[in-house]
Chains A and B, each alone.
Chain A
């Protein structure tokens, strides 16, 4: 079974600075998807960014980018120019691409605080 590990339970960053959240995963598969979700205090789960394993290019979405290292099974999220609204729980998730239906497997999350 696949596992996802987020080794930083809590992180903090100064407003306008850059922060990187870590995620590693364990799998024997070669084709899969990786995601970062944001959960603000509203509790809503919001997709931040997705990465297909077959794509070597790192995904970017505005101030959010990932560093995908397939051989190292690492998928970190970089947030540039941090804003107060970025304060939230962030979850890394894995999904196999092989089976007809594969649920997402989540890490335990990293709580990000943004300091004004």
Chain B
């Protein structure tokens, strides 16, 4: 059982370049999320998707777009990378509350992105 798989694990971009972070989960979860982690800031929500076909902004959505391709996959796109987007990015998935006692989020291994 792979859980949540993110690619790539590391990436260096030049300012202005674009890229897409890929995420897939095989746990049949409805909900998926993208967080960014910065030193001293904890994990902050960028975007989330309650279910296939829906997406919503989180705390720090500026500069990002997302696509919920199907139930398994949720991608994060940086259209024009900026140094402020240097961070560690995590994809996560979970069940909807009330559908299971395991209401935690399951995380991918993270992507360390550096924008120079």
Q: Which A positions have Cβ atoms within 8 angstroms of B?
A: 6, 9, 33, 35, 43-45, 47, 50, 52, 91, 93, 95-109
The reply to whether B98 and A97 contact each other, CB–CB distance below 8 Å, is yes
The reply to whether A9 and B40 contact each other, CB–CB distance below 8 Å, is yes
Q: B interface, how many residues as a size bin?
A: 20 to 34
Q: Which B positions have Cβ atoms within 8 angstroms of A?
A: 30-31, 33, 35, 40-45, 48, 50-51, 58, 88, 90, 92, 94, 96-98, 101-105, 107, 109-110, 112
The reply to whether A95 and B31 contact each other, CB–CB distance below 8 Å, is no
Nearest CB of B to A8, in Å = 13
A contact patch SS: loop
The reply to whether B42 and A50 contact each other, CB–CB distance below 8 Å, is no
**Cα of A50 to Cα of B102 in the assembled complex, Å:** 9
A-side contacts of B40, CB under 8 Å: 9, 108
The reply to whether B90 and A45 contact each other, CB–CB distance below 8 Å, is yes
Nearest CB of A to B50, in Å = 3
